[in-house]
Amino acid sequence: MQIRSWSVLAIGAVVCFIIEAHASATIITSVEEGKAKDTLLIRGALFGQDSGEVFLGTSELSILSWKRRKVTVAHSADLKAGTYLLLLNTAAGQLALMDVTLGSVGDALGVSDRVGRRVASTS
């Protein structure tokens, strides 16, 4: 009985550690067109209160607003339609990634998340 209770305790500790490690990961939950022209609104969790960096493909975007759960960035007005890797790097060095589709690409219009759901229109 002593060995079994130690095994359960060890498994419980590992599960708690995994849940805690996953819960502290910076994530992007959505990207959508901002209210202002040529802006993107990035929503997620654990971005931190200090500004980090945001890249769309290989281009660094200008940070307009940085909050713990929402970041607004400006992108170039001449950005070509296509799918880009969006990388958010927090001030603490935590990375979050999402593929986003901007503009008219194939049959879809707007900003799409990694699984291709349409989340915003760019018209």
Sequence ranges of the domains in the chain: 26-120
CATH class of the structural domain 26-120: mainly beta
> Distances in Å between the alpha carbon of 27 and those of 23, 62, 81, 92?
10, 20, 24, 14
Residue 4, pLDDT score:
52
Measured distance CA(17)–CA(118) in Å, rounded: 35
- Give the pLDDT confidence score for residue 1 in this predicted structure: 52
Q: What secondary structure letter does DSSP report for 15? A: H
pLDDT tens-digit profile, the chain (123 residues): 555 544 444 454 444 444 444 557 899 999 998 888 899 999 999 999 999 999 999 999 999 999 999 999 999 888 888 899 999 999 999 999 999 988 766 554 455 555 444 444 444
